[in-house]
Amino acid sequence: MTSPWLPALGLLAGWLCMSAEDRQEAAFVRVSPRDNRYFELSDGKPYIPIGLNMIAPPAEKLDLGEMAGWLASLAENHGNYIRVWLSGWSLDIENKKCGEYDLERARRIDAIFAAARLQGIRLKLCLEHFRNVEGPAHWATKPLHNVANGGTAKTMADFFDGQPSREQFKKKLAWYQARYGSDPIVFGWELWNEVNCVAGGDTMAWTEAMLPELHKLFPKNLAMQSLGSYDGDWCRKTYERLALMPGNDVAQVHRYLDCGASYAVCKGPVDVLAADAVRELLKLKPQSPVLLAESGAVEPRHAGPFKLYAKDTEGIILHDVLFAPFFSGAAGPGHIWHWDVYVAKNKLWWQFGRFARTVEGLDPPAEAFEALELPDPALRIRALKGKRTFLAWVRDPENTWRTELAEGQAPRKVAGASLKLPEGCVLTDYATVRTYDPWTDKWEPAKTANGAIILPDFSRSVVVRLDKRD
């Protein structure tokens, strides 16, 4: 059987033969100078990161074929972004001894680079995730960094605060730079997964020291850090500090549906918790791109994937994670976790295509969007009011994960609803007034009456889009 990675490996060979000058001429993702809240490519074209966390191939497999299939399915649905953990079991180059790098694992990373390039998908590369250097090795423990095993640290506090460990981490960054350089297929480099979940050491001071190192080594790629799920006051001050930290190019937030969370918002409708997370970050850093970089649903206090995922065959959780952040002012849709046991298992790749259809042809940096919540007694309406485009996502608040998945209530049909445009939006200024049903993939001209847009009958949600004349 032919491996699905062979085309990617062939492409990789061609890429490696290109000169450094040719690579640098390709378009990189950057914060848009036209509007710092959004991304664009270095050639000026807009870029909305549509994708998900695809951290690693299945843990029990060394073959990357299944991951290649996921990438192809995402690309078929106009996805252009994934997040990968370089520290994941099958990709971790530093897996036997501190400071020694495994070329076999590096070739797997090479293959992911090549497959992503083949599919037009950018990579956010997370460098580390472990939380301890003491005890037996497992997903959160990396004893090879302990001095007893030839490493540089006695504890995690020693790892983050000690100069030998800092210098060793910089050497590892330099190794990645020597192999991959500033590569346009890279969306950005992320220092650590949820670094504030590590017990010990000044992780924020460490971040302040390492972000400049990323910028020095990868000057054309974005640099960032991530924090744990924003579900209680325990992380509020850390989020504030990171959001304002120089060199942190993207204000990222993680938040899940979690019935064991401290904040009540994390137990309610997914669109509400996602929108609220984005607003919290925008309040901290209003002139920066904000991303809901990890989301989804978990058993209480992150005890495992949400058991009701099995019933979510239509992807209502994924839909809300995708749509709510962007319509609340984020630089892109939200990025779901559980790529394997939820998205791939339930064959939900089409949901990415429905978001992509909603924003097709959109240039967010050119719009100077204002994110609005339009008042309505029976609907939740989140809208983006721009120079040339008005977009609204209308959500039925009576349909939630609890009603549909936990209680088994079929989504109702919303009939006879309308949307009144906000001040400054005049119907006659627009050449096209359309609605889009993301559940049936159907665009249609919208009817209007008395300055309002008559919504078609819909279930769960519907999109309204108005585009001005050229």
* Per-residue pLDDT reduced to its tens digit, 224-248: 999 999 999 999 999 999 999 999 9
Contact (Cβ atoms closer than 8 angstroms) between residue 185 and residue 123:
yes
378 and 284 in a common domain: no
390 and 359 in a common domain: no
Which neighbouring-strand residues pair with 40? Answer: 30, 46
Instruction: Decide if 1 is inside a domain.
Output: no
Q: Report the alpha-carbon distance of residue 319 to residue 286 in Å, rounded.
A: 25
Q: 118 CB contacts (<8 Å, ≥6 apart)?
A: 7, 8, 11
pLDDT at 2 over 80: no
359 and 302 in a common domain: yes
Q: Report the alpha-carbon distance of residue 86 to residue 64 in Å, rounded.
A: 14
pLDDT of 60: 63
* Per-residue pLDDT reduced to its tens digit, 351-406: 999 999 999 999 999 999 999 999 999 999 999 999 999 999 999 999 999 999 99
This prediction's pTM = 0.95
Q: Report the alpha-carbon distance of residue 236 to residue 242 in Å, rounded.
A: 10
132 and 32 in a common domain: yes
Edge-to-edge strand ranges of the sheet holding 452-454: 418-420, 452-454, 447-449
Q: Report the alpha-carbon distance of residue 68 to residue 111 in Å, rounded.
A: 9
294 and 241 in a common domain: yes
Last residue of a domain, one of 322, 347, 367: 367
Last residue of a domain, one of 307, 333, 367: 367
Mean pLDDT value across residues 311-316: 98
Read off the pLDDT band of 61 (50, 70, 90): low
Of the listed ranges 133-137, 381-385, 405-409, 415-419, the least confidently predicted one is 133-137
Instruction: Decide if 122 is inside a domain.
Output: yes
Sort 324 into a burial class: Cβ within 10 Å, 0-12 / 13-18 / 19+.
buried
Q: Report the alpha-carbon distance of residue 119 to residue 82 in Å, rounded.
A: 11
Nearest 5°: phi and psi at 270? -65, -40
Q: What is the CATH number of the domain that holds 128?
A: 3.20.20.80
Of the listed ranges 60-74, 361-375, 447-461, the least confidently predicted one is 60-74
End-to-end CA distance of the chain: 52
Structure tokens at 293: 């970089």
Output the average pLDDT for the chain.
Answer: 94
52 and 72 in a common domain: yes
Helices (DSSP H) in 99-219: which residue ranges? 103-119, 156-161, 163-180, 203-217
**Could you give the number of structural domains in the chain?**
2
Q: Report the alpha-carbon distance of residue 398 to residue 412 in Å, rounded.
A: 8
pLDDT of 13: 44
Q: 73 CB contacts (<8 Å, ≥6 apart)?
A: 344, 349
Q: Which domain range does residue 152 map to?
A: 6-367
Mean pLDDT value across residues 247-271: 98
* Per-residue pLDDT reduced to its tens digit, 152-194: 999 999 999 999 999 999 999 999 999 999 899 999 999 999 9
**Helix or strand run (H / E) with residue 41:** strand 39-41
Contact (Cβ atoms closer than 8 angstroms) between residue 394 and residue 464:
yes
395 and 303 in a common domain: no
Last residue of a domain, one of 367, 401, 427: 367
pLDDT of 211: 98
Read off the pLDDT band of 18 (50, 70, 90): very low
pLDDT of 242: 98
One-letter amino acid of 57: P
Q: Report the alpha-carbon distance of residue 216 to residue 210 in Å, rounded.
A: 10
More confident residue, 326 or 14: 326
Q: How many residues are recorded in the chain?
A: 470
pLDDT at 22 over 50: no
Q: Report the alpha-carbon distance of residue 468 to residue 388 in Å, rounded.
A: 5
pLDDT of 406: 98
pLDDT of 1: 34
338 and 405 in a common domain: no
Contact (Cβ atoms closer than 8 angstroms) between residue 278 and residue 325:
yes
Q: What is the CATH number of the domain that holds 422?
A: 2.60.40.1180
254 and 224 in a common domain: yes
Four-point Cα dihedral 96, 99, 103, 104, nearest 10:
20
Of the candidates 412, 368, 369, 410, the one whose C-alpha atom is nearest the C-alpha of residue 391 is 369
